[in-house]
Structure 1
Amino acid sequence: MPQLNRIFDYVDHWSRETPTAEAIVFEDRRLTYADFAEAVDAAAQSLLAMGVQPGDRVAMMAMACPEFLISFMAASKVGASWLCLNPKFNAREINYILSDCRPKVLITLDSYMGKSLADELARVDLNAAGVQQVLVLGQPWKETRSYQEATSKQLPEFQSALLQRAAQVDPQSDVLLMYTSGSTGQPKGVIQTHSSILENVRQQSKYFFASQSMRALLHFPINHVAADVEIGFATVYAGGALVMMDRFDPAATLEILGREKITMFGQIPAMFLMQAALPSFKDTDFSSLKVIVWGGAAAPISLLRGLKRISQATGAKLITGYGSTEACGFITYTSPSDDAESLTNGVGRAPENFELRIVDDQRKPLSTGQVGELAIRGPFLFKE
């Protein structure tokens, strides 16, 4: 993979190298890397026109869709950081996060699963939260604008300004803000930089066999590190194709696996179990799979047996590990050669430049077999 310094550099790179290759698939929409790069630049120029400055924040309230990755890359290209709120959040949760991170621009769906997000946002003091512009995916309402209209074409008067702004983006600058629930209090924002994301994804790409032929399925909420980094940006990094669903549907995912020739299939064990319980599971076309990944929980032995049967039939590698939002994804990985005991009760080992140790409450290292906390150090860690 090319060693580039900012995450948006990979969109530009693949648009030059493989412009006609598929980048994003969503329902009946198919974007090539040329389409993707053009949409990113149009959205980035729109952000410049709205006065977005380096260090500002752009928030989105949506689920997986092309605009998720387009707006994320566009914000990164103008030196801003991007974050997502789950459209299932209520007004209190929305108000807390917006007031805490104070984004200049909010991009939102007009509704989600029968809930009007206009009504939900009407109960939020957007002015007090610092929101200056609201762009709507769908039908805009009073004092908002259509996202599609605002970003549908490039703005010639901002093309030069975008080139200058992109050239000035520091790899150590903030680019992604994810809120994660701690053990106490309200969710806390975790800030990742271009550099920390790339440090993790470069290692992940080795374990997940990333390449330009990679076709990954994404159905996680986009306020989660799996969507933003481990599957979303990691696929762009590889120059592969990202097949998106706006929600997890056990039967639909199985159908998409075969139809879209998915090569990288990552989920939590509960999702695999729901799929395995379906009558259609035994008839699913798994032949394109190269790697099957799970995380977030241990896989029960019954599930592992089923995944091993798929692996034996297709040659797909089985991998699990441990990760966190603060570490920008996985920080340990099992090996494809690991036995059932390691895959069900272990999380593998850390890459060479990832430092992990088990410590006590005084931060002193513990020996094998002792229970403590996991201390992590490395260039992939969150900024603050």
Structure 2
Amino acid sequence: MIPHLPTVPDYLAHWAQHTPDAPAVVYRDQTLTYAELAVEVDRVAAALLASGVRPGDRVAVLANPSRTFWLTFLGSLSIGAVWLGLNPKYRLPELAYNVDNSRPSLLIGMGRFGDQDFAPTLSALAAPHGLSPIVFDAPAAEGAEDWDSFLARGAAVDAAALAAAREGIRADSPALIVYTSGSTGRPKGAVLGHGGLARSFEIQAHRAPVAPLRVVANLPINHIGGVGDLCCTPLIQGGTIVFQDVFDARAMLDSVAEYGVNAFMQVPTTLKILFERPDIDSFDLSGLRYVSWGGGPLPADIIRRLRSRDLHVGTTYGMTEITGSVTYSDLDADVEQLANTVGRPIPDIEFRLVDEHGDEVAPGQTGEVLVKHPGLLLEYFDNPAATADSFTADGFFATGDVGLIRADGNMQLVARTKEIFKSGGYNTYPREIELVLEEHPAVRLAAVVPVKHPVFDEVGIAYLEADPAQVGDDELAQWCRDRLANYKVPKGFVMMDALPLLPVGKVDRMALRAMAADRFADVFAS
């Protein structure tokens, strides 16, 4: 039975007491039980205290999904520090922006992964703030400290001091900063609270159709899907996290038989890669019981393949600023519902769809999604103006997503407010067009972006994962004309082997906008 506890670290303490020998973490063939994990987290928490970290201080960590990442997260939260994940795939300017903005008291990072040396990156991030980085998975370079020395400092902190540091953490105490992807501008640091993390992923843990969850955690640690869905949810349920440093399709499929993984909770991109493999049937997936996704749509063809394996299949809708998911598909949802909607709003939240004047729209009409949810961000870090702009006067968070509630009660997303464009004076919703294109048997994935047009102001350009040998522009245009109003029909089609992605696995629409502007500006100008 899942208890109702105030913070995520409280769940670790609970399971360490009640199921001490259950596997909590698997990493590089080494397993930690819940009792062992609790001991390791205490060591890290003590070392943080000995290093001068206090409630509200930020601890920034550059790492892949790994045991050490998880220890720093739980150790930081347990003493009231605010944890921040840094993605090793980011370039130095991107990392520096997040570090400069959050001003951490401590910087921890892996020294090496594969043939990549991160010592210069850590030094460059630490120097402007007068920090000495703490390095694991490699010897520490000059000016840095190794992981063992860091842990050794914690020996001076006794159990009473550690317990005292853990008192006073409230539901509205900050726990985590997650920087938005920055797809529409500079990233903003969403500050998520202890109570919001615990409640959001308790809801998710209860809704999972398998227990205890045994999941592969391989999404970036700076992503709420990585640190929240894939790590907090199984911990709250008393399940097992199998860490993999990076996404590796073969290793992930092997984990089902090797480690008893029973759930894949992923973004659509990874599920497409996994289940489009020609050798998929050579893997023993008999133990896999549940597959879910969020962050974007999954093509109907992949959903059919999942359903053919007698799996529980589900999709959800959430975002960084609301921490956990606020819609879930029914367990018996059909392929059309799973492909075209994000499920039903859950009763644990307040939910509205409103027009541009803030008035609620009628059923079946499109409107911006507003939510009140236990997991709403506390603020954008050091950005009161952005915080104020994101909330209504009565406390609803404006998601920037536009959707509609269908007659069957499921929500269909049609666009981000910043993705809507006007063509010939009409509001045009990219997702509506993408859904039509993805119904074509030759199209695996579609993304529609606007470009300037001398007559219609803007028109849509469709970027497609499709084989040009199987379908041409004329056929696609006619396909759309048969199903959409004329102004919605894309005025250009571009076939690609794979659409460009953001580090979190979502389609990089800003990159596509730039490509479309470069390719079609002269075409329409003439």
Tell me how far 1:327 sits from its aligned partner: 0.9
Tell me how far 1:365 sits from its aligned partner: 1.3
Contact 2:25 2:32 in 1 (8 A): yes
Tell me how far 1:24 sits from its aligned partner: 0.3
The residue number in structure 2 matching 1:6 is 7
> In the TM superposition, what are the counterparts of 1:14-93 in structure 2 within 5 Å?
14-93=15-94
Q: TM-score, normalised by structure 1?
A: 0.94
Tell me how far 1:8 sits from its aligned partner: 0.8
Deviating 4+ runs (over 3 angstroms): 121-124
Structure 1: distance between partners of 2:363 and 2:182: 27
The residue number in structure 2 matching 1:261 is 260
> In the TM superposition, what are the counterparts of 1:108-127 in structure 2 within 5 Å?
108-124=109-125, 126-127=126-127
Q: Can you list the C-alpha shifts for 1:75-94, whole angstroms capped at 9, x where unaligned?
A: 01111010101012222112
For the structure 1 residues 183 and 367, does the alpha-carbon distance in structure 2 shift closer, same or farther, using more than 3 Å as the test?
farther
Q: Which amino acid letter does the alignment assign opposite residue 320 of structure 1?
A: T
Contact 2:50 2:153 in 1 (8 A): no
Structure 1: distance between partners of 2:23 and 2:237: 12
Structure 2: distance between partners of 1:277 and 1:181: 27
Structure 2: distance between partners of 1:149 and 1:156: 12
Contact 2:267 2:296 in 1 (8 A): yes
Tell me how far 1:183 sits from its aligned partner: 5.0
Tell me how far 1:128 sits from its aligned partner: 3.3
The residue number in structure 2 matching 1:187 is 187
Tell me how far 1:377 sits from its aligned partner: 1.2
Q: Which amino acid letter does the alignment assign opposite residue 317 of structure 1?
A: H
The residue number in structure 2 matching 1:161 is 161
Q: Can you list the C-alpha shifts for 1:97-131, whole angstroms capped at 9, x where unaligned?
A: 1110011011101123433222223444x3433x5
Structure 1: distance between partners of 2:293 and 2:275: 14
For the structure 1 residues 113 and 363, does the alpha-carbon distance in structure 2 shift closer, same or farther, using more than 3 Å as the test?
farther
Contact 2:48 2:154 in 1 (8 A): no
Tell me how far 1:293 sits from its aligned partner: 0.4
The residue number in structure 1 matching 2:216 is 217
Structure 2: distance between partners of 1:355 and 1:52: 37
Q: Which amino acid letter does the alignment assign opposite residue 222 of structure 1?
A: I
Contact 1:6 1:195 in 2 (8 A): yes
Q: Which amino acid letter does the alignment assign opposite residue 180 of structure 2?
A: T
Task: Compute the RMSD of aligned alpha carbons.
Answer: 1.7
Q: Which amino acid letter does the alignment assign opposite residue 198 of structure 1?
A: A
Contact 1:81 1:177 in 2 (8 A): yes
> In the TM superposition, what are the counterparts of 1:284-303 in structure 2 within 5 Å?
284-303=283-302
Q: Percent identity?
A: 32
Contact 1:192 1:383 in 2 (8 A): yes
For the structure 1 residues 8 and 133, does the alpha-carbon distance in structure 2 shift closer, same or farther, using more than 3 Å as the test?
farther
More deviation, 66-75/355-364: 355-364
The residue number in structure 2 matching 1:336 is 331
Q: TM-score, normalised by structure 2?
A: 0.69
1:361 aligns with 2:356: yes
The residue number in structure 2 matching 1:381 is 376
Structure 1: gaps (5+ residues): none
Contact 1:104 1:133 in 2 (8 A): no
The residue number in structure 2 matching 1:322 is 317
Structure 1: distance between partners of 2:332 and 2:148: 48
Structure 1: distance between partners of 2:122 and 2:47: 23
* SS in structure 2 of the partner of residue 228 of structure 1: helix
Matched residue count: 377
Q: Which amino acid letter does the alignment assign opposite residue 270 of structure 1?
A: T
* SS in structure 2 of the partner of residue 279 of structure 1: coil
> In the TM superposition, what are the counterparts of 1:204-243 in structure 2 within 5 Å?
204-209=204-209, 211=211, 213-243=212-242
Tell me how far 1:290 sits from its aligned partner: 2.6
Q: Can you list the C-alpha shifts for 1:137-172, whole angstroms capped at 9, x where unaligned?
A: 122111211123322696254322111111222232
More deviation, 350-359/33-42: 350-359
The residue number in structure 1 matching 2:175 is 175
Contact 1:87 1:112 in 2 (8 A): no
The residue number in structure 1 matching 2:98 is 97
